[in-house]
Structure 1
Amino acid sequence: MDDNRIYEARLEVIDFLVEVFYDAPSEEFLGRLFSGDVAVPDDEINERMDRGFERLEAFIEANRSRPVEEVADELRTEYTRLFVGPRPPALPHETYFREDTELIGEGLTALEAAYSAAEWAPPDDYPEENDHVAIELAFLRNLVDRQRRGEKAAFNYERVFIDEHLRTWDEQFLETIASELDEGDAETDLFLAGAEVLVGFVDFEDELVAQQVPT
């Protein structure tokens, strides 16, 4: 696979994850999933990503013949229960899962400093705090795109961001989602699939940028 295709594949995975966690998945996104417009890697990548994409394929197979509006309604209910609340078990914010930070305070300030150091600002129209998983993924997407355009410094920004932020909470996020699901439901759960892909993708990116940044 050539470098450009690898970049495209990385960006596609990030776009998929943003669609899953930004808000309750839309009917338009589900329509693309069920029609095959969202690509699933053919090759093995790592255990977590492979398992996540297998679970995604099971979700698609279980739901593609159903009315997309019905599936969207069910996912909206589940998204609210898991991530919005009241009292959500898996609030998708870095500072929710880290014991060394507060939801509003030092942890959020450190994260925003990482964005600023890379000369990036979160979208103005997004209502969540800047430690939401979708915002962190948007930052990661910006760095990958800059790497594709030849900006070497973007590799170092990503390495630091993964080590100091994404890797500090992605496993707990996955484990919490998994603990909230019945065993039978877990096999075809879109959010669990997304969380597994997220953890596997962070591992993949960590290994990739390590090859580009001198130690």
Structure 2
Amino acid sequence: MKKELLLEWLQGRELVYRFFARIYQEGPVIELLSALSGEPFLEEVAAGSQNQDIIEGCREMQVEIASRSGDLKAYQDELREDYHRLFVGPGHLEAPPWESVYRSKEHLLFGEETMAVREFYRSFGLESKNKNREPEDHIGLEMEFMAYLNREAAAKAAAGEGFAEFLQGQRRFLKEHLQQWVPALCGDIQRAARTAFFRGLAVFTRGWLEADGVELEVVIEENDN
């Protein structure tokens, strides 16, 4: 892959992973809703993909946002209620956003999966500021980590330096972590969400991880050759 195309690909992926990181960590903040209402981000992601889940998820979100753009504050209140019911609480969470809840036998926080994610971050020189208070295997933090690996790979590639370790890291993290539990999380979101925004987000997320894993394999193979 030519340098210009590689950088464009890495930067585009960083943007999507940052979007996921923000929405899953912060919820539907008004600034993000305003940006999605006024910019073609979701439309462009859908247009650039052949994955049906990406296309359908982005469009479902886009249609609802467009229909509610006249009163974003009221829409945000509705989305925030859905967000808290799904991910935050109080009370029973319809879609707990932590890997260890889905993958451990006891379905508890700070399990072996959390420790494995913590060590993965450390292997790339990162450590959570909220360690031992906020599990590192929150979906938003895992998405943020993928964005970081993309940014570092792009910086190395732009400087003409080796960036393979950051691609390999992404492949491993997808296979060992994100792809192991996020599809199940997305299924829970889809079933429990009361808004098309979050139902669409679940479909978009699932499709993105699937399609991105395939593209990553192709780019790694090209880079190795």
Match for residue 18 of structure 1?
A: 21
**Could you tell me which of 64, 77, 80 is aligned with 1:73?**
77
Relative to structure 2, which stretch is displaced further, 170-179 or 11-20?
Answer: 11-20
Relative to structure 2, which stretch is displaced further, 201-210 or 131-140?
Answer: 201-210
Gaps of 5+ in 1: none
- Take 2:42 and 2:7, find their aligned partners in 1: how far apart are those partners? 16
Say whether 1:110 aligns with 2:104. Answer: no
Gaps of 5+ in 2: 158-162
Q: Kindly state the Cα deviation for residue 135 of structure 1 after the two structures are TM-superposed.
A: 0.4
Secondary structure of 2:114's counterpart equals helix
**Could you tell me which of 119, 131, 134 is aligned with 1:128?**
134
Secondary structure of 2:33's counterpart equals helix
Q: Kindly state the Cα deviation for residue 124 of structure 1 after the two structures are TM-superposed.
A: 4.7
Report the residue type matching 1:55 in the other structure.
E
Report the residue type matching 2:65 in the other structure.
I
- Take 1:132 and 1:152, find their aligned partners in 2: how far apart are those partners? 26
**Could you tell me which of 174, 193, 208 is aligned with 2:186?**
174
- Of Structure 1 and Structure 2, the greater helix share is in 2
Say whether 1:191 aligns with 2:179. Answer: no
Say whether 1:205 aligns with 2:212. Answer: yes
CA contact (8 A) 1:122 1:139 kept: no
Report the residue type matching 2:152 in the other structure.
R
Match for residue 54 of structure 1?
A: 59
Secondary structure of 2:198's counterpart equals helix
TM-score normalised according to structure 1 size? 0.87
Secondary structure of 1:165's counterpart equals helix
- Take 1:107 and 1:139, find their aligned partners in 2: how far apart are those partners? 15
- Take 1:176 and 1:11, find their aligned partners in 2: how far apart are those partners? 25
Report the residue type matching 1:56 in the other structure.
M
Percent identity over the alignment is: 22
TM-score normalised according to structure 2 size? 0.83
CA contact (8 A) 2:42 2:62 kept: no
Q: How does 1:77-156 map to 2 (within 5 A)?
A: 77-85=81-89, 86-100=91-105, 102-124=108-130, 128-149=134-155, 150=157, 151-156=163-168
- Take 1:167 and 1:51, find their aligned partners in 2: how far apart are those partners? 20
Q: Taking structure 1 as reference, are residues 123 and 25 closer, same or farther at Cα in structure 2, changes over 3 Å only?
A: farther
Q: Kindly state the Cα deviation for residue 39 of structure 1 after the two structures are TM-superposed.
A: 5.0
Report the residue type matching 2:57 in the other structure.
G
CA distances 1:127-161 after superposition (whole Å, capped 9, x unpaired):
63111111001110011112212321011111111
Q: Kindly state the Cα deviation for residue 108 of structure 1 after the two structures are TM-superposed.
A: 1.0
Q: Tell me the C-alpha RMSD between the 2 structures.
A: 2.3
Q: Taking structure 1 as reference, are residues 37 and 15 closer, same or farther at Cα in structure 2, changes over 3 Å only?
A: farther
Count of matched residue pairs: 208
CA contact (8 A) 2:11 2:150 kept: no
